[in-house]
Amino acid sequence: MGFHKGAPTPHNEAKPGDFARTVLMPGDPLRAKFIAETYLTDAVCVNQVRGMLGYTGTYHGKKISVMGSGMGMASMGIYSYELFAFYGVENIIRIGTAGAGSSDIKIMDVILADKAYANSNYAFIQHGFSGNCLPASKELNDLIIQTAADTNLNLVVGPVCSGDVFYREDVPSEPPAYMSEVKALEMESFALFCNAKALGKKATCMVTVTDNKWTGEELSPEARATHLGNMFRLALESGIQM
């Protein structure tokens, strides 16, 4: 696909071999920096192009990488595609923040996506896929679910919805039927799952709920940067087993 055939790329200065087989991808590159500096040993910054920071280090002696994806499906689509296609990455776990998809979801709940819905043409343009739902990797999810059980971390498993629009005008419309089962609202997973499907790779998504429109609760920007440790540790503990 496209004109580019190898690493480095126009968006990533890392050299072949700089990334581990498994990459954790928060949206915010500064969150990637925080994870690398807080949890990884001997972390090396392997990409700084456009400020989209990427690091590789070790966790409990196992090589693992973390890199920002940016916001939205277009940005996730570029960075995850390049990691899969040009850097030999086999597994990507999106680790992000999200809004509650229903009134019973609580602030700080960790949601593991089993599939992602979207009203988006990303998958059709990228892969010719005309559906509105793509699955996460069952293999990765089974491992994460078992790791969560082993560490007594409560995990909510269910669908997420990836949106193209963050700020939306109040246009009257009926929500799609699938919204009744959605656990979290975010903006990247559908594109990530599409790229994994297109390239024969594995991907999943974990998000921590930071706001609930039904209750009006929300975490501050400062808390979002520092209160996501349960999700980070679960992703790291699972990632080094992949």
Residues with a catalytic annotation lie at 211
Amino acid at position 227, single letter: H
Longest Cα–Cα distance of the chain, Å, equals: 53
Distance CA 225, CA 17 (A): 29
Residue 200: left if φ>0, alpha if ψ -120 to 50, beta else—which one? left
Residue 232 near residue 39 (C-beta atoms within 8 A): yes
Helix and strand element counts for the chain (H, E): 7, 11
DSSP string, 130-168: --SEEEPPHHHHHHHHHHHHHTT---EEEEEEE-S-SS-
What the block records as the tokens of 28 is: 């915010």
Give the single-character DSSP code of 213.
T
Distance CA 70, CA 239 (A): 21
End-to-end CA distance of the chain: 27
Residue 7 near residue 87 (C-beta atoms within 8 A): yes
Residue 212 near residue 100 (C-beta atoms within 8 A): yes
Rg of the chain over Cα atoms, rounded to whole angstroms, equals 17
